[in-house]
Amino acid sequence: MDTMNSPMNTTEPAAASASGCESPIETDVQKQLRLFVTVLTVRLLHKCNTVQSRTKEQWVAHMKTLVSQTMEGLTVTGNFSADDKDIKKVCKAVQKDLQKRYGSKGLVQTVILQEDAAVDADIAQCLQTHTRAFIAEQGKKRSWYSQYKWAWGQRENSKER
């Protein structure tokens, strides 16, 4: 059996099964988005000084909860890529937003450490809002670049005639 072409090694989304359930296999773009959200969440927890005061198991479990809540309903059309600079920028925006909501950096740290379901939902919603804004911003940059490439290609083609 060819293991490289088996359904378990594909990065393409699998077709819906006979039961109507979607496959849990993620596309490369979905994996990139999940990685972005995960690193963003870890950075946020670190910047809010909530990692040092808990055990590894506690903050990893909390991070997983926040990531799964943030990923609900997030989608990307087209390509998605982000670097460390992008993550820092989005994290800073999330921090500022949370500080406005809760009053200060110290209060943000306190509410995060409580691991309250309502607070977690609020944090996930904030992460989601800023991630969507980043995706939209990235889409605008991409569309500008593709228009530029198209126009440049048209210019090159007219020179050849």
pLDDT in tens for each of the 161 residues of the chain?
A: 444 444 443 333 433 334 344 446 778 888 999 999 999 999 999 999 998 889 999 999 999 999 999 999 898 877 788 889 999 999 999 999 999 999 999 999 999 999 899 999 999 999 999 999 999 888 776 655 555 555 555 555 555 55
pLDDT at 156: 54
**What is the predicted pLDDT for the residue at 151?**
55
> Does residue 124 contact residue 70 with C-beta atoms inside 8 Å?
yes
Q: What is the pLDDT of residue 13?
A: 40
Residue with tokens 């309903």: 73
Dihedral angle computed from the Cα positions of residues 56, 58, 62 and 67, in that order, rounded to the nearest 10 degrees: 30
Predicted TM-score (pTM) of the model is 0.71
